[in-house]
Amino acid sequence: MDLSGKAVLVTGAGSGLGAATARALVAEGANVMLADVDAQGLTAIASELGEPARCRRTDVTDADQVQDAVTEACRSFGAIHGAIHCAGVVHGERVIDRDGNVHDLSAFARTVTVNLTGTFNVVRLAARAMADNDPDAEGERGVIVCTASVAAFDGQIGQAAYAASKAGVAGMTLPLARDLAGRGIRVVSIAPGIFETPMMTGMPEKVRASLGEQTPFPPRLGRPAEFAALALHIARNVMLNGEVIRLDGAIRMGPR
């Protein structure tokens, strides 16, 4: 897909991977509909990007709010041609902690609801809007990029909820791509390793350095711009479909 002049919905756009992706899209000549629950961060990124950007505070688990973001994108830009879904939450908790307390069930449910149900909510509503697009020369009407995690495959101690939610994203990628193939809509997921996101930048420098050194090469945390570069390549390369791509510097997470 040629991104110039196209409109793309970016969730989690108020910071981190989503903000970097929005910047990269605008640099390619695309228009972006920015969505995030962080209204302050969202407004700041929209102001930075200027005219090609619109923003709407959006909880990805809320069907009406996601539909409103999709509708506004179509109204502002004439159509929606892509969705890059970066919104998500992390949660760490042992099934049974050292004091004998069991994992909070509501925390598990919330993690799965945001990361997995929220992803499907964005996919289904964005795909419905893309299905109305005129196909290009390849028959393509749209592209959707979801965000899984290496935790889907190498989940660590305390990551049962997070790993389950991201494994769900990885697991539904192929059936989603097959389901939407007849509409000319591709679906690909990226499984990032350890990246410089707001969650990571809040950690002490010593901890960040230690985590980065676990990556074989390059021995550092991933940069959001590197995630954005892969997301844009997926959008451009029509043969990429139904795949989960690890972006992790060859890291394989240990048990802890």
Which residues are catalytically annotated? Answer: 162
Specify the 3-state DSSP secondary structure of 155. Answer: coil
Q: Measuring CA to CA, which residue among 41, 87, 42, 32 is closest to residue 61?
A: 87
Measured from the Cβ of residue 253, the count of other Cβ atoms closer than 10 Å reads 18
Measured from the Cβ of residue 204, the count of other Cβ atoms closer than 10 Å reads 8
What residues pair up with 190 in beta bridges, in sequence order?
147, 245
Token readout for 5 is: 């002049």
Residue 216, preceding bond cis, omega within 30 degrees?
A: no
Under 8 Å CB-to-CB from 135, ≥6 apart: which residues? Answer: 141, 184
